[in-house]
Structure 1
Amino acid sequence: MQGPQRRKAGIVVAVIGGIALSACGDSTVPGDGTGDAGRVRIEGRGQVVSSPRTVDCFEACTMTLAAGDRLLAVAARDWRFERWDGDCAGQTGDECVLPAGGPVEVVAHFAPAPQDLSAAQWRKGDLHQHSDHSSDGSLGRQLGDDQAPGNMPLADIIAQAEAAGLDFLPITDHRTHDQHYDPQWESSGLLLIAGEEANGSPHATVHGAVDMVDQNARIDGEPDSRVVQESIWLAHSQGAAWVTAHPDDGSVDDDGVPNARADALGVDLVEMWNRASYIEGEIDYVENRWNAGFRFGIAGASDNHFKEFWLLGGGTGRPATEVLTPALTDRALVDALRAGRTGVYAGDVLSPRLRIDADFDGDGVYEVRAGDEVFVPAGTPGTLRVRVEQGLGNRVLVYAAPGRNAGALAEVVGSSVIGFEDIVLDIVAGDTPTWYRAEMRSLGLADPSSLLFGTVLGPYDLGNLFQQLLAQVRAMTSGIFVSTGPVEPQGAFLPPPDSGVDDGAEYALGAPGEFAGFADAAYDAASGRLHVVGEVHDAASTRIEYTVREADGRWRAPLRLDDSGSARFPRVAVAGDRVVVVWQDERAGQIPRRPAILSRSSDEGGAQFGAAVVVQAPDGRAMHPDVVLASDGTAHVVWQQIAAGEPFDVFHATIGSDGSVSAADNLSREGKVVAAASGLDARSARYPASVRPAIAIGGDDVPVIAWQDNRFDVDPLWTGQTGSGEGTDPDDWQIAVRSPGQAIEFLGAADAADRHVDVLVDSDGRTHLVWTAKPLQAAGANLSLQAAVRASGAAAFAAPQPVGAYAASSARSPRLGLDADGHAQLAWFDSRSADWRWRVMTAVFDNGAWDAPRLHAGRGVSSWPVPAGPFVAFATTRHAQRLQRDRTQQVYVIDGRSPVAMRAARVPTAKGQGLLPPLADADCASRGAH
């Protein structure tokens, strides 16, 4: 196919992750009002913020600025800060100190960051694999109503994946995260990443999440797309990839037409080839959604439950998903999954493979890869290249929108036994959005495992049996999307527009187009400083950044604390000028997974930090630390830890002011019954898990540690034993709490999964616990909050009570902190907003009880809040310009004393769905920091 003569022009924009920045956004808390109106303009892609914070600027904006104020330039993903012009000209670095005198005119220049496409490699894995941690994880269990012995332990599956030559593997068990607490989740031959098959309908595989993605209960009167949308946003709040599993089962009606669930935005991948379901229906679904303006990549899935098919050439890695990634790290893999940089092939060593890329600037470099969006003017010529590897005798078909019904754009029979051959097509961008993809089909009979598993047992259309046997799919590519600008999906059940308002929140961490989250914050009342840490992601790594808000509202430039690129889950504690930050880190690499606990300390208010100290580096995994400071500056650190043949336990150690680390104490092992599996039943193993510890300390300098614990479940980490069990319901998790040297006290209900605990000692010496409680139901059940308090000097906690109860919403990630008056303050994120978005809620413990909760109605999806003094730090997508592909999530801070913030804090209505009008100024003033 010949197109018009190509011309060289710098007009291509390959949007990875959908970065599309628009004009200035929030007006945040202004300074003292004595400055001049300064004008800031941005060239390129980035963000400029002032200190003190006034306006978040993305193109051009006006700020109230004064001499000595600072501007911080934050480059967007795949861009870099280049230089300042105007009144900041000549200042080096990404900070500018404003000069005195007159209105300020500033230009911040950002330039594209060079992308080394040659550094990326294709890595193969299986995105959908089950073990006996799923209810139907093996053949006997499926045939025996979940009550037969299991024969799919993690060790066997991982060994099979290693033998198949996979580079990475998630174990995506049904609606559980417990497989990651199994001591067999271990490999020195491939990279293990977190996975889950989430939700009731449609199923979704989630990759890179930090915990179970609990699907909310359906709300009467709301479309089915709402709970799917909430699930997607919940996964993305963790930086995870969300994949629609077998879309022919759950995302379409009986006639094959996509249903309401298919209108949820932000799906990163769709299984276009699930070995256990109808591939032709899955291809039709993908093309339908692309034609409707949805943008995502494709995935392949063995959806393997049965060891019995391994001998037939089926099972793990057949088919395999290939991912184009710059590094073999979990962050690089998940980032590439979210970008759709994927392809699928049959999975064998000699199986043919396909690649697709494009060139739209005529320089001969194919800079546009599978999954990318290209924005170019109509009439722009380009070149599409499909690379065929080992394709001898196979038909390669290249399709463009609207897809198969319109016939192939090109059809070629492969002739290469080894190596590759290229199919090159001249294409021209039209005035309507289009897409391109390629697939390969075999002229021979299907392989034995597909004949048995895919055709005889699979849900195939018998009328197309000839096609299934003699035109079997061998490989497929993700799409390349071409349009004149960002494309908005079309559907009857899309999420409502954002109803959020200006909440006065101030920028803290993160860049446009990238992820920042899992923030922690600590407030020092004496100095008025707020210390904030967060986890920040780029294309291949994770890092820990730290910043400070001074008492006068000025912010310090962010400081990176790690040096590994694999640091996660930071926590911070402060007392005067002493600041201690802890996190988990994989300095030695991720094969095998060996996270350790590291710490850095400052005795200068965070102005400078000492070298990193290793708190614990076991021959296993040490994860999810928390930290508090005693009055003498000693840091108390807790974390969860596992080693071969051992369960996860909670450990405690101290760091002295001189950096010395004490021996670690195991706080949770006492009373546990631990047993390895018998050779007859993989589910007979017993490794009760103690995870997600939190620590607090009071005026007596005695730390209090709480965690979630499943030792009282009849079969911890599993869904039944031989002769019992049905469905993947959550374990009977309980809340455990103790101080070193004291007995463990347990709280929680036997008919609920009690998880995600936090602990605090308030200024009156009361100890507060708060956690989420979920009915023992796999999916479609909301989480609620429970709280318990122990009075100073009391021997036990009072009976737990609900907080912020509303049955039609789900509450997540409760965190405790002291407010400006020394009261216990609680923050969480909640789904009761009328526009479906997760938003921050808070409540205060006053007069012996938790008061009515307030919903903070700021813009965007808000999550993972933490209260600290008069502030609440949280993650927010408020500057993401496209709901489906822009992954912008940043850390912001609300100063609860500001009138703007108080007006945005609303009390939910009785129904809990709509919101009351903004509070009057007088009402705000009467509430104070509450």
Structure 2
Amino acid sequence: MLLCVALLAGCDGSSDDSRGSGPTPADPLSLQLTVEGEGQVSSSPRTRDCFASCTLDFAAGTLPTLLAVPARGGRFAGWDGACADSTTTVCTLSTSGSLQATARFEPVPAQAADWYEGDLHTHSDHSSDGSLPRQTLDDRAPGNMPISDILRLAGNLGADFLPITDHRTYDQHYDPQWTSDRVLLIPGEEANGRPHATVHGAVDMIDQNAALEGAPESRVVQESIWLAHSQGAAWVTAHPDRDSANDDGSPRPHADAVGVDLVEVWNRAENPEAEIDYAENRWNAGWRFGIAGASDNHFKELWALGGTPLRPATATLTPMLNERAVLDSLRGGSTIVYSNGPTTPRVTLDADFDGDGTFEALAGQEVLVPAGIRGRLRARVEAGLGSRLLIYAAPGRSAGPIANIALAGAPGGDTHLIDVVTPQEPTWYRAELRSIGLAEPASLLTGLLLGPYEIENLFQELLSQLRAATSPIFVSAASVEPVGEFVPPPDAGRDDGAEYALGAPGEFAGFPDAAFDAAAGRLHLVAEVHDPLATRVQYLARSADGRWSAPQTLSDSTSARFPKVAAHDGRIVVAWQDERAGQIPRRPAIWLRVSEDGGLSFGPEIPVRGSDGRAMHPDLALAADGAAHLVWQEITSGAPFDVWYTTVGADGVVAEAVNLSRADKDIDAGSPLDARSARYPASVWPAIALDGATPVVAWQDNRSDLDPLWTGGVGYGEGTSPDDWQIAVMRLGRDETPVFLGAADTADRHPDLIVDAAGRTHVVWDSKPLRSSGANLRLLATARQPATHDFIEPQSVAEEAAASAHRPRLGLDAAGVPRLSWFDSRSADWRWRVMHAAYDGAQWGAASLLDSRGINTWPVPAGPYTVLASTRNARRLQRDRSQQIFVVDSAQPATRAATVAAAALPKTLRLAAPVEQDEDCLHIPIPVAPPAILP
């Protein structure tokens, strides 16, 4: 703990005599800082963050501490100059005057990796059209596609990972059947009304905004991509030939959205030839993404014909099989696709452009190489007998392959080397395998039944059947930006004076939480930080004098997520969810650590709750007696998600957990003849506050929905879409049943609550119409006076019909006045930005926009500070996943300058005329389908 003490106190950790003469600590300090390699240097107290060369100036008497943060793919290699004696990433300067220092970073050698296969596009009956009976009878028939059947088959087929990507819903993850001890399950959704996208790794439904009058179609798609990326999720364009291209193959305006991670080039239900043409068009215009295959499986009736999940499969190259590693690889485009039949050929592609004989450039990667460089591609094929290997370079198939090789099918596989010379213009290289005739009859048959093949498409399939393909290797002299008519406008944000807190350049940090200890004037902050293989919980603190502690990793695992922090009189408690036993099956548990010295050191990890199910999303409050009050959501076999509560005393003893939400739930396992008849009402996203010694808990709950977790049932069609979620609020020990807030015609979700100094309980949440896409969210707030049971009528907060508001959080400012923060889509440059409002004793006042640089999300108000996640240090809009955690001091002049009244925004946003939600394709043309496969 000496490191943390040195940072907080500014003590001298060096002994270089050359720096001890001349200027004294009472003189100003001007530091010429150089960064060699990829990384970031921050100071405590913060001045500016340095990524190359910069000058850091400090007032007289200030001896700063420097923190070196290596960027993605790198590590810290050492200090030179004034910090040469420091052997860690931390350097504390001991003298003033004019100094020079250098922070050196170096690349980390690539780790050994392997290919893991899955299917990025599958459906259960949680989709409104999730099975053949429901598609053919307008969602009014029983369903026959339960999650358990899909997972059983996927395990039998050898899947390593699998998302269930049901249409515009997250409810499939609240089904007790979402569990497997054979396959790594990853959260998934097929989002948006148009264009459809599969999103992998998000924490809840991706709500597509309403279209704006005069705005291009790409705006709402762009907002959807940024919303997914704010959660560390991967965003995949689904069946682009149907959704993203015109009939002549030209891209539609919404195809200009930037940041797509993968594009389906082989959706079994569509035309892969048109999908490949679309992908090549986008690559040629500067878009950089990998490829995906997708069964888009809805119909069990086709399983016997080969139309199963994993046909085709997407494989991704990663050193480890866990959720973070798979998502990291997908976002990097390190993918191949293949038909995955009984005699499936596969192909991989890598390249050597420096002539050292090492093929270090992998499919999906961008390689910066000057023009005129001689390089070599290496294509390796497994089970290639009877296939042809085709190598394409930009502009692609329109120019023909640069190599066309008949494969002999050698026992150990075929390896082929292709020499290339890099051109003046940016290019790319990719590989395909094709076979003549009925190489895989099941693939051809299901393609005919599912796909929109016309005669010319059928002829193409018979002559040259697609068997496998790789993502491109992108080659250019400098980073490439996409060129399109409807790309996002430049960032119009201003400097908000924010101070960097957590996260590495090029990596994701998110889901922050914060607590302000008013007695000490200290801000305590936690967040989830990612690297390519792990998610970890980190903590640090900011003192009243502006000094920061060094970040501490609190979780002794690689799967810690969603941390929460509480602070009171120097006692700090941090809770999170963790899967340290592994992720097959998914069994997150709740863990906790405590500091008794204001965050300088933390005690051992305390297991709070584990079960044979999933304990997730903790929240906590800290009482004056030192007891931590915790809530979380938990699901077990044959039971719904419920909200649970316990306390961890000052002595570390964990009390017996209590189920808060189970009473009065109507639970039914359903009929085995109808996959959609089960009833498991969910209670999720809990929040807790203390009213004196009384815990007050809020959560979202769908027990009042006609068919919770489903859309429609036998005889009545669509039903609610999404569910009729409501907000439940309960005072423990005082209320026998919860108070329910919200309306039956809206989805009321994601509550937060706080008790102010006057004893009023404030509750806020976001609310949307019962429309699965193309609808904006608004914020609702209510309050309850002390010693009363009923809340006042909920009121909208800072509503703008043409803007969508997300994830409200409550806090108390330095004077104890309630503050509300959220992120919102009303900025003129399309970017998500943070909004604020204050409570004036009777109502929430006018909103203000923190007009900052970058995409800013997940804000948390804490005392005079706002903690937020921001992409402001990202260098590009595509393929740079830099999202870091920052702290804004509302009292600083720069913050006030960047904050504008919502009413003073430079552009009035208006909703476009409502557009009917894009219907999901009826993937089987009924006149063509053989009667034998119909139920």
Q: Fold-level match, TM-score > 0.5?
A: yes
Q: Which residue of 2 aligns with 1:847?
A: 841
- 1:358-397 residue CA offsets vs partner (Å, 9 max, x unmatched): 1112222111111000001112221111111100001111
- C-alpha change, 1:442 and 1:621, in structure 2 (3 Å) is same
Shift in Å, 1:452 = 3.7
The aligned counterpart of 2:103 is 108
Unaligned runs of 5+ in 1: 1-31, 916-930
Q: Does 1:133 align with 2:126?
A: yes
Closer/same/farther in 2, CA of residues 901 and 449 from structure 1, 3 Å limit: same
Q: Is the 8 A contact 2:306 2:446 kept in 1?
A: no
Letter in 1 for 2:393: A
Moved more, 552-561 or 428-437: 428-437
Aligned to 1:35: 28
Matches within 5 A, 1:691-840: 691-698=684-691, 700-726=692-718, 729-741=721-733, 742=735, 743-840=737-834
Whether the 8 Å contact between 1:344 and 1:476 is mirrored in structure 2 is yes
* Aligned counterpart, 2:464: 471
Paired with 1:571 and 1:413, the residues of 2 have a C-alpha distance of 58
Judge which range, 380-389 or 162-171, deviates more.
380-389
1:50-104 residue CA offsets vs partner (Å, 9 max, x unmatched): 1110011100111123552101100001111111111111111011111213112
1:861 equivalent among 825, 837, 855: 855
Contact 1:681 1:722 in 2 (8 A): no
* Alignment counterpart, residue 72 of structure 2, candidates 77, 90, 109: 77
- 1:886 matched to 2:887? The reply is no
- Indicate if the aligned counterparts of 2:508 and 2:883 stay in contact, CA closer than 8 A: yes
On the 8 A contact 2:393/2:430 being kept in 1, the answer is: yes
Aligned to 2:238: 245
| Contact persistence 1:134–1:728 (CA under 8 A) | no
- Tell me whether 1:872 sits opposite 2:872 in the alignment: no
Letter in 1 for 2:216: P
Task: Please give the alpha-carbon distance, in whole angstroms, between the structure 2 residues aligned to 1:635 and 1:349.
Answer: 56
Q: 1:451 to 1:43 in 2, by over 3 A?
A: closer
Structure 1 residues 469-618: aligned runs within 5 Å? 469-618=462-611
2:617 alignment counterpart: 624
* From 356, 364, 367, the counterpart of 2:360: 367
Deviations 1:341-360 (A, max 9, x none): 00000012530001011111
Cross-structure match for 2:673: 680
- Structure 2: segments with no counterpart, 5+ residues: 1-24, 910-935
Deviation string for 1:627-658 (max 9, x for gaps)?
A: 10011010000000000000000000000111
**2:341–2:440 contact (8 Å) kept in structure 1:** no
* Partner residue in 2 for 1:923: none
Alpha-carbon offset, residue 680 of structure 1 = 1.2
CA contact (8 A) 2:644 2:657 kept: yes
Q: How many residues align?
A: 881
In structure 2, do the counterparts of structure 1 residues 46 and 727 end up closer, same or farther at CA, with 3 Å as the change threshold? farther
**Aligned with 2:629: secondary structure?**
strand
Contact 2:431–2:470 (CA<8 Å) still a contact in 1? Answer: yes
Tell me the SS of whatever aligns to 2:459.
helix
Matching residue's letter, 1:390 = A
Q: 1:429 is matched with which residue: 422, 426, 429?
A: 422
Rounded to whole Å, the distance in 1 between the matches of 2:410 and 2:849 is: 62
Return the TM-score normalized by structure 1.
0.93
How far residue 469 of structure 1 moved from its aligned partner, in angstroms, is 2.3
What is the distance in 2 between the residues matched to 1:362 and 1:150? 57
Q: Measure, in 1, the Cα distance between the counterparts of 2:903 and 2:567.
A: 38
> Which of the residues 385, 396, 400 maps onto 2:393?
400
Deviations along 1:678-714, one digit per CA (max 9) or x if unpaired, are 011000000000000000113x211100000000000
- Give how far 1:446 is off: 5.7
The offset of 1:462, in angstroms, is: 1.7
Query: What letter is aligned with 1:239?
Result: G
Shift of 1:450: 3.5
> How far off its partner does 1:912 sit?
7.5
Equivalent position amino acid for 1:70 in 2: T
What is the rounded CA distance, in whole Å, between the counterparts of 1:64 and 1:855 in structure 2?
Answer: 30
What is the SS of the residue equivalent to 1:683?
Answer: coil
Are the aligned partners of 1:200 and 1:215 in contact in 2 as well (CA < 8 Å)? yes
Q: How does 1:129-528 map to 2 (within 5 A)?
A: 129-416=122-409, 418-445=411-438, 447-528=440-521
CA contact (8 A) 2:174 2:682 kept: yes
1:898 is aligned to 892
Deviations for 1:213-255, whole angstroms, at most 9, x for unmatched residues?
Answer: 0000000100000000000000000000000000011111222
Which has the larger displacement, 722-731 or 564-573? Answer: 722-731
Q: Tell me, what secondary structure is at the counterpart of 2:523?
A: strand
CA distance in 1, matches of 2:48, 2:688: 36
The two structures, once aligned, show a CA RMSD in angstroms of 1.4
1:535-564 per-residue CA deviation (whole Å, 9 max, x = no partner) reads 000001100000000110000110000111
For residues 67 and 761 of structure 1, what CA distance do their matches in structure 2 show?
Answer: 39
CA distance in 1, matches of 2:482, 2:596: 52
Distance 2:146 2:448 in 1: 27
Deviations along 1:461-513, whole A, 9 cap, x unmatched?
32232111231100010000000010011100000000000000000000000
Q: Could you tell me which amino acid in structure 1 is paired with residue 257 of structure 2?
A: A
Check whether the contact 2:72–2:505 (CA below 8 A) recurs between aligned residues: yes
Tell me the distance in 2 between the aligned counterparts of 1:709 and 1:456.
41
How far, CA to CA, are the matches of 2:757 and 2:101 in structure 1?
A: 46
Give the 3 Å change call, closer, same or farther, for CA 405–517 of structure 1 in structure 2.
same
Q: Is the 8 A contact 2:713 2:719 kept in 1?
A: no
- Please state how far the C-alpha of 1:444 moved relative to its aligned partner: 2.5
The code of the aligned residue for 1:570 comes to: P
| Contact in 2 for aligned 1:174/1:728 (Cα 8 Å) | no
For the residue of structure 2 that corresponds to 1:651, the secondary structure is: strand
Mapping 1:642-681, distance limit 5 Å: 642-681=635-674
Verify the 8 A CA contact 1:175 1:728 in the aligned structure 2.
no
SS of the aligned residue for 2:468 comes to strand
Contact 1:857–1:905, Cα closer than 8 Å, also in 2: yes
C-alpha contact 1:67 1:100 (8 A) present in aligned 2? no
SS in structure 2 at match of 1:311: helix
Q: How many angstroms does 1:795 deviate by?
A: 1.6
Is the 8 Å Cα contact of residues 446 and 469 (structure 1) preserved in structure 2? Answer: no
What's the counterpart of residue 15 of structure 2?
none
Percent of residue pairs identical = 61
Q: 1:149 to 1:34 in 2, by over 3 A?
A: farther
- Contact 1:810/1:831, CA 8 A, preserved across alignment: yes
Q: 1:99 aligns with which of 56, 80, 94?
A: 94
